[in-house]
Structure 1
C-alpha cells in the first residue's frame, strides 16, 4: 500500500458555530465536610484545597516553575480566580505542589 494512502484526512468540525469554552474557573459545588474531626484537620484540608486550586490556575496561566511563583504572583492569581489572598504557608504549599507536578 502506498504511503499516500495511509495519510488520514483532516477532520472537519460538524459544528456550525464556534464553540466557546466555559469560563475556566467556575465556582465548585460545595459539599459539607465530615463532622467530628479536630479543627486543625479542617484548616489543613481547606488550605490544601486552596493551594491545589491556585497551583492549577498558575499552571494554566503558563507558570510551570516554582521559582516563578513568588508570593505576589500567587496572590494576584488568587484575586483573579476569586479566592481570598493566601497566607505564606499556603504559598509555600502551592510551590511544593508545582514541584510535584513537574
Structure 2
C-alpha cells in the first residue's frame, strides 16, 4: 500500500469545501456558567484575578504595548479604565506583566 494512502486528508476549508463551512461570525461570547462551589475563597479571588490580568494583557497587546517593560502600573490602570474594568491592584499589574513575558 502506498504511503500516500495512509496519510490522513486535511479537513476542508471555506475555499475547498463542496458546501459552505459555517463560520463563527458574528462573534457571540459563550454563556457564563457559575464557578464550582465548595472551593476556598482564595481560589475564587485568584481565578478572577487571572481572568482580569488576561483581559488587560490582551488589551495592552492590541493597543501596541508589546513588552512587559512598557507596561507600567499607570499604563495598565489607564487601559483598565479604557476597557471598563476596575483599576487593578499591584499584584494584578505584576501578573499582567508576567503574562506578557511568557507569551513571547
User: Displaced runs of 4+ in structure 1, greater than 2 A?
Assistant: 26-31
- In structure 2, what is the equivalent of residue 56 of structure 1? 58
- In structure 1, what is the equivalent of residue 36 of structure 2? 34
- In structure 1, what is the equivalent of residue 71 of structure 2? 69
* Deviation for aligned residue 1:30: 3.4
- Which has the higher relative contact order, 1 or 2, with Cα contacts under 8 A spaced 6 or more apart? 1
- In structure 1, what is the equivalent of residue 85 of structure 2? 83
User: For residues 38 and 56 of structure 1, what CA distance do their matches in structure 2 show?
Assistant: 28
Give the TM-score normalised by the residue count of structure 2: 0.70
- In structure 2, what is the equivalent of residue 93 of structure 1? 95
User: Structure 1 unaligned runs (5+)?
Assistant: 1-21
User: Structure 2 unaligned runs (5+)?
Assistant: 1-25
SS of residue matched to 2:60: helix
Give the TM-score normalised by the residue count of structure 1: 0.71
SS of residue matched to 1:86: coil
Change (3 A) 1:28 1:69: farther
RMSD: 1.8
* Deviation for aligned residue 1:31: 2.5
